[in-house]
Chain A
């Protein structure tokens, strides 16, 4: 058994504060490993992790794979397009077949919300959610918190804004749950038709005035914008979005206090964020990427590592 309350990491909605703290502590230790000339520890030697990706991903899959390799785990990648999964072999059979080959952990990305809740009914392996549709992306939430912690020193009372398409964002949901658990304040900003209904019930505040939101915040996490999703147009034009919600050079310049700029990637430069804002000294976007490896190492270690024997 691992060190966390739950056997799996499915989301941050149910993850208790102690577990988030434990993950972040270990992540910062593993972060140091990544600065060594030899970036590898034997921690998960003999453990096998399968990265089961039912949706295209480059950075998250590479980040998980690197985390596994740095921990000396054996890793296997399985990528399947959405369509092949939907028709052919059932989801249940795919998972069971892979598990039958004696593995310890499944890291899964899936386009359908809640797919991981189904997966744990079919397999005994430890399951880590690498993104399930528009539900959660817990390791992203954790790496965002780790990156904030690095520059701010504390999450308690920190004012964090999430800007963009909240409705379709698993990153937003994991950030909301994690940050609120850790005592931060969260404000959402974006077009009203991209706000999920009753989102205030999760404990966040909301505004449609980006300048007011930026003036309020200590840090802003800028979400990727897509004009159209599944044939429905949500944003009339890039120009208009940038005018109303873009994190532009002029907006950031006007702020009295500098704020930390984050983005989970991939960035649409000139759309949701201006190039020079993304590259500015207050932007920690590349730290987020590096911390992603460390956080995933911590999660895998805490879920798969052996408990020291009680004396």
Chain B
């Protein structure tokens, strides 16, 4: 994507405008003045404005990804806030939440401030998620209040499950007055052991140690029970298994205030995709069976899973070229997210509006961000898509510093054509 400053007057003309916050879809144009929404209407005449012809394209809110890893501080060779922001823009994202498993982890008010300050000049809004426990060690709570004061929008020991149920209870309780969600990577480590992939026929064939689906669902169920007990605010990241979906569905039907996300890679691939030991498919939680994948798609459709998040996790080539057991877990996913998700969910019969809502309104509401982006006077965060474009995802489409994407070489459907964010216009 190439960026340039938005001209004083900018007209997005004749687009198919989808406003997820108000549940509206209609043809029209959007006029931006000094980077802010000036007018949205059927016909806007602004002869002095620079024009973007959005005919045949969808114009909607900038995407929001509440689960990314930008590796700063500590592993700037894999990603920085700046390079991650470029990858986000290329994927149509204007707002992201970065996970705290950096080196050192984001477990102090100072480290939260570092991210807020360093991210403030970038064209994508970057919100830090703070660690639940000091050093992500699962022992002592961090200064959750002070970190929230500095800009932490949620708490998670991401990558490292909170195995201690007592600590999980505490953080769910302690954060109630702070009004921020708790996000726990749900994998019972005593069941996971040295597991490398989903436990099933494929792991048996490949001889790779298996990670059973219940290693996730047991902890999801525990967290839901603790949430019901405490009245805390839980967000469940990267749901991978059918069994977890069942627990979440039951909890939501019982009226529990809980949100859940799924990643594009868990919707797109199955454990059979690992047949040639592709380390770019190695991820935690693991990519599961065909049946699990079907249940995940149905769960997005019926709203049990309300959010799509990438879990964008950059790693170096050198690390991913290691033999399978030694390669790190993680997949980058910002640039390929929409094309992957719309291909899979569109083919499964989902409406475009609903898919967009899972990438815009729902994550913003889950994190307590403003969800109504098309109000007059707001700084424009707009993504322009061609939902019909079929394309093959190649390495040159990546803006991340890393290349660990199993989407390379895959056929995708739907493509981000332009992203407007922070007074900038980025075009493919």
Contact = CB atoms under 8 A, between A and B. Distances in A.
A250 to B, nearest CB: 33
A132 interface: yes
A91 B322 contact: yes
Nearest to B322: A91
Contacts of B276: 114, 117
B321 interface: yes
Contact of A197 (B194, B204, B277): B204
Please indicate which of the listed interface residues B194, B196, B199, B207 has the most CB atoms of chain A within 10 Å of its own CB: B207
Please indicate which of the listed interface residues B193, B194, B325 has the most CB atoms of chain A within 10 Å of its own CB: B325
Given A118-B321, A197-B200, A112 B205 contact: no
A1 interface: no
Nearest to A118: B323
A198 B204 contact: yes
Interface in B197-231: 199-201, 203-210, 212
A135 B321 CA distance: 19
A90 interface: yes
Contacts of B318: 90
Interface in A179-212: 196-199, 201-202
Interface string B22-56: 00000000000000000000000000000000000
Given A114-B277, A117-B277, A118-B277, A170 B207 contact: yes
Given A118-B277, A230-B194, A90 B203 contact: no
A90 B322 contact: yes
Given A113-B324, A115-B323, A199 B193 contact: no
A173 interface: yes
A133 interface: yes
A221 B108 CA distance: 58
Interface in B302-345: 318, 321-326
Interface string A272-309: 00000000000000000000000000000000000000
Interface string B243-287: 000000000000000000000000000000000110000000000
A197 B197 CA distance: 13
Interface in A88-113: 90-92, 110-113
Nearest to B323: A112
Contacts of A226: none
Interface in A201-246: 201-202, 230, 232
Contacts of A132: 207
A259 interface: no
Contacts, number: 72
Contacts of A86: 326
Contacts of A134: 207-209
A81 to B, nearest CB: 14
B321 A91 contact: yes
Given A90-B322, A91-B323, A230-B194, A114 B208 contact: yes
Interface in A119-134: 132-134
A110 B193 CA distance: 20
A231 B359 CA distance: 43
Interface residues of B, number: 24
Contact of A112 (B193, B204, B325): B325
A65 interface: no
B193 A230 contact: yes
Contacts of A113: 196, 206-208, 277, 324-325
A295 to B, nearest CB: 21
Nearest to B318: A90
B206 A135 contact: yes
Contacts of A135: 206-208
A199 to B, nearest CB: 6
A136 interface: yes
Please indicate which of the listed interface residues A86, A198, A201 has the most CB atoms of chain B within 10 Å of its own CB: A198
A201 to B, nearest CB: 5
A132 to B, nearest CB: 7
A34 interface: no
A13 B201 CA distance: 14
Contacts of A92: 321
A196 B203 contact: yes
A90 B317 CA distance: 11
B210 to A, nearest CB: 6
A232 B193 contact: yes
A201 B204 contact: yes
Contact of A90 (B196, B206, B321, B325): B321
Contacts of A201: 201, 204
A115 B196 CA distance: 14
A117 B206 CA distance: 11
A85 B277 CA distance: 19
Contacts of B200: 197-198
A113 B209 CA distance: 9
Contacts of B196: 113
Contacts of A198: 200-201, 204
B321 to A, nearest CB: 5
Contacts of B321: 90-92, 118
A198 B326 CA distance: 25
A1 B378 CA distance: 68
Contacts of A112: 323-326
Interface of A: 13, 86, 90-92, 110-115, 117-118, 132-136, 170, 173, 196-199, 201-202, 230, 232
The 3 closest A-B pairs by CB, nearest first: A135-B207, A114-B277, A112-B323
23 contacts: A13-B205, A90-B321, A90-B322, A112-B323, A113-B206, A113-B208, A114-B207, A114-B208, A114-B276, A114-B323, A114-B324, A115-B324, A117-B276, A118-B323, A118-B324, A134-B208, A173-B205, A173-B207, A196-B210, A197-B199, A201-B201, A201-B204, A232-B193
Given A133-B325, A197-B199, 13 more contacts: A91-B321, A110-B323, A111-B325, A114-B277, A114-B324, A115-B323, A115-B324, A118-B321, A118-B323, A118-B324, A132-B207, A135-B208, A197-B203
